[in-house]
Structure 1
């Protein structure tokens, strides 16, 4: 895209129960702080109003309309680089 580190397909899991919540196309370097809906490939989370939760009840983030703002301590992620 803008030459900032390529793309990664990452798996985002709940930090409490390790349930797989999202498969997400991460573009560029930097931390995972929010998710752009157009890059979400799989969504196993629960949308409760504007709150995004794991089935175990852990609050993962907040839907801000343009993106999902993630709580840093609520999730873990792993992924592989391609492209």
Structure 2
């Protein structure tokens, strides 16, 4: 389980169940377990501070690599 945080203000955005090795490029919406704070403006997801986190691609979110950090373990 990973905790995704904003790279700019360090607020918790959501908890994500990551499967497999590798970096976090796509976050599938069905694997998001808990949302703390995540704003959706048109097709973009952002933090309350205005930092762009990712783009809505239907069943998943294509993450902006410089917009977030994460902590936790990958399975």
- Superposition TM-score, scaled by structure 2 size: 0.93
5+ residue gaps, structure 2, are none
Equivalent pairs counted in the alignment come to: 74
What is the TM-score normalised by the length of structure 1?
A: 0.84
RMSD: 1.1
Deviant stretches of 4+, over 2 Å = none
Q: For the pair shown, which has the larger CA radius of gyration, 1 or 2?
A: 1
- How far the C-alpha of 1:80 sits from its partner, in A, is 2.8
Residues 81 and 69 of structure 1: CA distance in aligned 2, closer, same or farther (over 3 Å): closer
Deviations 1:13-38 (A, max 9, x none): 00000000010000000000110011
